[in-house]
Every structure is written in C-alpha cells, then in structure tokens.
Amino acid sequence: MNVQILKLLAKDARMSASDISTVTGLPEIEVVNEIQQMKKDGLIRGFRTVIDWEKLDEFYVSAIVEIKVTPKAGLGFEDVAKKIARFHEVESVYLLSGDSDLSVIVKCKSFQDVSRFVAKELATIESVTSTKTQFVMRRYKELDVDLDVTDPDQRGVVSSC
Amino acid sequence: MLNYEAVLNNTITEIQPSGIRKFFDIAATMKDVISLGVGEPDFPTPWKIRNAAIKSLERGRTGYSSNRGLNELRAEISRYMLRKYALRYNPDTEILVTVGGSEAIDAALRSVINPGDEVIVPQPSYVCYVPMVKMAGGVPVIVNNRAENDFKLKAEELKEKITDKTKAIILPYPSNPTGAIMEKKDYEEIEQVIKDTSIVLISDEIYSELTFNGKRHVSPASVGSLKERTVVINGFSKAFSMTGWRLGYTCGPEEIISQITKLHQFAIMCAPTTSQYAAVTALRDCNDEVEAMMEEYDTRRKLMVKGFNDIGLECREPEGAFYAFPSIASTGMKCEEFCEKLLAAKKVAVVPGTAFGESGEGFVRASYCYSTDHILTAIKRIGEFISEI
C-alpha cells in the first residue's frame, strides 16, 4: 500500500504512472505494480470522471432518498443495504446516524423515473418502513470539484513578482 | 510649459524602467497565450480566510488599527515565528504589520541607509531591491550568484563586495526567480564574514512556507548571533494565497523596528484592517489548507523540472518558492530572444532571466502556479519550439 500514490490518484485518476513516478521518486514499474496490487487488494475500487451533467440537454436526475428500516434480527441493516445497492439506479448507499437509517442516492433519466423507482422498488422492500425522496436541484461541488467556478484566470500573462 | 525635468526628483527620474518591459507589453496584449509567467498563486485565498474578512466587515470593524497592527495579529505572528522558525519576537516592540512585504523592505532600507551607504544585493533576484536602495539614497552593489553554487549567496563572494561603506545586505531566500534556498551552514559562513562589522541583514522571507525535499526554511535570524542584526520580512501573499490583500510584516530588534514604525506611521497609518482580521484566521486555522497547497506545488515542481530536462533544457531542482529556472544555453540563444521567439512561435510565455539581473542571462523563469495540465501543455510546446530551431 502506498498512501502517496493514493493521494495523487484521488486528486487526478488520469495521472500517468510516469508522472506518479516523477512525483514519488519510485521507479515507474514499481508504481504500476503498486497500483495493480492496490486494485487487487480492493483499496482502489474504480476511476471515475466528474461530469457536470447540467451542461447537457439530456442530463440525469438525482435524488437523495432517506430510508427508515426495521432491522432484521441478526442482520441489522446489512441485508437491506446490500439489497438496495444492487439496483442499477442506485449510485451510493450510506448507513446514517440520526433520524433516517439509510441514505440512498438514486440516478435516473427523469423525475418520473426516480419516483417510479422509489415507489416500485425501494418502498416495497419488506423491512423498509418509510422513504423520503429529495430531488437534487443543482450541484455546486462534487468529489472536491467546484462545479460553480467559471471565472477565467484573472492574472496577467507575465510578471516579475 | 512647465519644465518637468526641473520639477522632478533626480534620483527617481534616473531609475530606469525594467528593460524587459517591451517583452511584457507584447505578451500582455497577445491572446490565447499559455503562460508560465506569473509569480502569483493560482489558488484563491482559502475560504476560511475570506470568510473571516467578511465577518469583520459585517461587524463593522472598519476603522484604523493601531499603527503597528492589530494586537491579536501581532500576537499570532509572534507565535508563528516561534513555532515555525524558533524565533522569539515581542509582539509589542519587535513586530510591525505592513502593506505587503514590499512596504517592509522599503521602510527597512530607508531606516538604515544614509546617503551614499552601500547595500549588497544578490542577483538574480526580485526586481524591487535595486530601485528601492536607490530611492533610499543608497548605492546598490550587486553580487552575481552562480548556477554552479545553486544560486546561493556564497560567503567568499559576498566578502569581496564588502567595503567600509557597506550598510546592509539583502537576503532574498527562498529565491524568486531561482528557487534557491539558504541553509544553516550557508548563513554560518556569512556570519563569519560579517560578525565584526555593523552590517544589517534585510532578509526577505516571503516564500518561507514554500520549501521542498523536507528542507525547512532557515531564517538567518535563527543562526548564531545574527538575530541582533537581522530584519526579517515576511507576509501572507505567497503562503496563504493572499497577494491582493496587501499584507506583510517585519520582525527585528526593537531599535530598528521602532524606526521602521515611524516611517510606517507617517506614510501609511496602518495596514488594511480587513486584511489584518483575515490574517489572524490565516495563522490560526489554515494549516491544512496551506499544506494541501504545498503538496500541490510540490507535485507540479517535480513534473516541471523533469519536463524541462526531458526536452533538453537543463533544470536544477528548485528547493524553494514556486519557480523553475531552467538553462536555455543549449539553444544558443540569449534569454530575451528565446522568450520573444517562443512567444511568437508557440504562444508560451516565460520570463527572461535578465529581468532579475544580468546574471540571469542564459536562464528563463517558469512559474508553477498553474495546473499540471497547463504546465505539461506549455512544456510540450516549448519542446516543439526547441526541436524546430
């Protein structure tokens, strides 16, 4: 495991092994092997792109669905959380402290699709006692990326300071 | 018509505007330039700091502060100097908050220079020192630092320039534009050269937070007996991405700071109060933010140095500030010619080394205050330029 590599990849998943090698001082082959190993160990689970879907006409609709659950004896929330995670429409599932038990991020093509999915698939799960669906109106920041920034570089071209 | 020549101050009129202004002017008007030319952080000021300023405005804290600066800010600066550089300064008598490091450099020079006094200025270095020495009535004496010494100020070269008129030495480390730093032993050697003199050290440490390879910044004030003769100058611009806030400070012996304070009091009154409230938060609560920026600079630094070396421009590893200073000797061009042709051919802007003194000839300054994508694109274009000449 190499935390420095993880930190660099967390910031930029496209960073090449050669650039990582330059920054960490490790030989390139070692970087490649290390990343392979961390994938194998389940430390690195995937590489995604942060996209501002709102820039497209055909964008996705997301909702945060808060779910209350009657935990099953012996299984707690595990069983239902894993079941929910299997759905294609579900982007994330978190176990929460506080009022709700699970927070589920659902992504569909339209508001209707989200409603239908929640009503048909999530609300009907046996131990689910209630759902509260909150549509995402606008994204400002995602995975550390500020989606709101459109300011061009205000600095000049050259300076001596 | 009024004879302006007769009206104006000769010392000021005789100061030449920077020789590379022409290049700067051309670059400034060109569109779609990929620039590595700016010595200013690309990160906005951390939000906590901006928010502290906003809150101070909301509370109506919009008056003057004391001449020396807010008590709580000077107290924070005192703690910071101790924590970071093992230096003890009394916030009531040995610290002054100024309008950027620039005001502090100017006032420090004016507080020690009598007409005709010599001030030693190592170069390549930031452009303000020579004109400021002249404006204070002093005579700048240049020491040309050399690449083979990693652009450090060497005690033996310094010694050659010392005369009985030498009043002060400027120590601009970590260095803009070379990225050079000075280590304890470098200052110990300098101490040997000046210990029997009354020469004052004016140490511009504005890049002190930006040192790499595990090397911590060393202030000359923390070395041997040098504290009694050192005026430390620092500020918030570079470390906290606060260039536009215009806030700096100076620490030193009470005898000197009290004189600088007079200049500040009569010329400035006090540094901007809003900026001072912001700066309290910067010193108190922004370690993580600063660290994240440093990590990013370090990544860029390494990629840039390798990038230049890969395209055939020999580039030493800078250990401080946020500039690389590659040699362009392999191209056979003078640096201004190189920069002008590069700009025309590939629309990439870097700053000629001669902007920072004659000894910058043969080098260009490239800033890594840009995203890695931007840096790598610029270097690729420079590589194309070199292969086409």
Asked if the model's pLDDT at residue B26 lies above 90, the reply is no
A22 touching chain B per CB within 8 A? yes
Residues B249, B321, single domain; the answer is no
B22 touching chain A per CB within 8 A? no
Residues A27, A89, single domain; the answer is no
In chain B, the percentage of residues whose pLDDT exceeds 90 is 95
Residues A96, A132, single domain; the answer is yes
Asked if the model's pLDDT at residue B59 lies above 80, the reply is yes
Q: Which domain holds residue A73?
A: 53-139
Count the residues in chain A: 161
Residues A15, A93, single domain; the answer is no
The mean pLDDT value for B3-30 works out to 87
Residues B308, B334, single domain; the answer is yes
- Determine the pLDDT at residue B336: 94
Question: Chain B residues with CB inside 8 Å of A22's CB?
Answer: 302-303, 306
To the nearest whole angstrom, how far is the Cα of B25 from the nearest Cα of chain A? 9
CA B293 remoteness from chain centre: 18
Q: How many domains does chain A have?
A: 2
CB B376, CB B307: distance < 8 Å? yes
Residues B228, B117, single domain; the answer is yes
CA B226 remoteness from chain centre: 21
A3 touching chain B per CB within 8 A? no
Q: What is the ipTM of this complex?
A: 0.80
Confidence of residue A156 (pLDDT cuts 50, 70, 90): confident
The mean pLDDT value for A129-136 works out to 96
To the nearest whole angstrom, how far is the Cα of B1 from the nearest Cα of chain A? 36
The mean pLDDT value for B236-265 works out to 98
- What residue of B is the nearest CA neighbor of A19? B303
- What residue of B is the nearest CA neighbor of A158? B37
Give start and end residues of each alpha helix (H) in B163-314. Answer: 184-194, 254-267, 273-285, 287-310
B330 vs A147, higher pLDDT: B330
| Locus of tokens 């093509």 | A109
CB pair distance less than 8 Å for B306 and A22: yes
By the 10 Å C-beta count (0-12 exposed, 13-18 middle, 19+ buried), B239 is classed as buried
Q: What is the CATH number of the domain that holds B330?
A: 3.90.1150.10
Residue A62, strand partner residues = A107
The mean pLDDT value for A77-96 works out to 95
Asked if the model's pLDDT at residue B115 lies above 90, the reply is yes
Q: Which amino acid is at B172?
A: P
Inside any domain, residue A28? yes
Q: What is the CATH number of the domain that holds B171?
A: 3.40.640.10
Confidence of residue B301 (pLDDT cuts 50, 70, 90): very high
Residues A99, A28, single domain; the answer is no
- Domain-ending residue, one of B243, B262, B285: B285
- What residue of A is the nearest CA neighbor of B339? A158
Residues A36, A70, single domain; the answer is no
The phi, psi pair for A111, rounded to 5°, reads -60, -40
Asked if the model's pLDDT at residue B37 lies above 70, the reply is yes
Question: Chain B residues with CB inside 8 Å of A7's CB?
Answer: 295
Inside any domain, residue A144? no
Residue to mutate among A9, A16, A28, A158, with most B CBs inside 10 A, is: A158
- Determine the pLDDT at residue B19: 67
* pTM, to two decimals: 0.91
**Which of B37, B42, B299 lies nearest to residue A158, judging by beta carbons?**
B37
Asked if the model's pLDDT at residue B209 lies above 80, the reply is yes
CA B151 remoteness from chain centre: 15
Residues A83, A28, single domain; the answer is no
Q: How many domains does chain B have?
A: 2
Residues B264, B133, single domain; the answer is yes
Indicate the average pLDDT of chain B.
96
CB B240, CB B290: distance < 8 Å? yes
Asked if the model's pLDDT at residue A1 lies above 90, the reply is no
Inside any domain, residue A23? yes
Q: Which two tokens stand for residue B142?
A: 């240049």
To the nearest whole angstrom, how far is the Cα of A120 from the nearest Cα of chain B? 43
Asked if the model's pLDDT at residue A149 lies above 90, the reply is no
- Domain-ending residue, one of B260, B285, B310: B285
Inside any domain, residue A101? yes
CB B202, CB B260: distance < 8 Å? no
Confidence of residue A73 (pLDDT cuts 50, 70, 90): confident
Residues B208, B281, single domain; the answer is yes
What are all long-range contacts of A82-91, with beta carbons under 8 Å and residues at least 24 apart? A83/A125, A84/A122, A84/A125, A87/A117, A87/A121, A89/A113, A89/A114, A89/A117, A89/A121, A91/A62
Q: Which domain holds residue B266?
A: 47-285
Under DSSP, the state recorded for B32 is S
Q: In whole angstroms, how large is the CA radius of gyration of chain A?
A: 21
The mean pLDDT value for B100-126 works out to 98
Q: In whole angstroms, how large is the CA radius of gyration of chain B?
A: 21
- Domain-ending residue, one of B285, B319, B347: B285
The mean pLDDT value for A16-40 works out to 97
Q: Is the peptide bond before B44 cis (omega within 30 degrees of 0)?
A: no
